[in-house]
């Protein structure tokens, strides 16, 4: 989950892992460690039509999540980091 300093969500002040409640490092509005940001808007063909879910996972919780996958994540090297 994300905590913002203002109502318009312009200034990010904290990110907390939804799974384990660990507070991730945030400096000047930028997340300074690995974070999985889940954000889904369910549409007409889902059972949650019109609902938006969002959450954040720390890197440890992300690793635990993908460990349970029957098919491993697709992985490739990237040269540009965000």
Q: Where do contacts with Zn ion occur on this chain (CB under 5 A)? A: 17, 19-20, 22, 58, 61
Closer to Zn ion by CB, 19 or 55: give it: 19
Judged by DSSP in three states, 14 sits in strand
Extract the tokens encoding 41. 């808007």
Least distance to Zn ion, CB of residue 51, Å: 23
Closer to Zn ion by CB, 11 or 33: give it: 33
Helix (H) or strand (E) holding 4: strand 2-4
Closer to Zn ion by CB, 10 or 73: give it: 73
Least distance to Zn ion, CB of residue 17, Å: 3
DSSP 48: T
Count Cα neighbours of 63 within 13 Å in the Cβ-side half-sphere. 4
């Amino acid at each position: 989950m994300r905590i913002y300093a203002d109502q318009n969500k312009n200034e990010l002040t904290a990110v907390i892992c939804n799974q384990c409640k660990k507070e991730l490092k945030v400096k000047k509005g930028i997340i300074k460690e690995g974070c999985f940001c889940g954000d889904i808007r369910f549409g007409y063909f889902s059972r949650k039509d019109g609902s938006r879910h969002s959450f954040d996972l720390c890197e440890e919780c992300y690793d635990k999540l993908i460990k349970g996958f029957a098919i491993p994540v697709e992985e490739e090297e990237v040269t540009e980091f965000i």
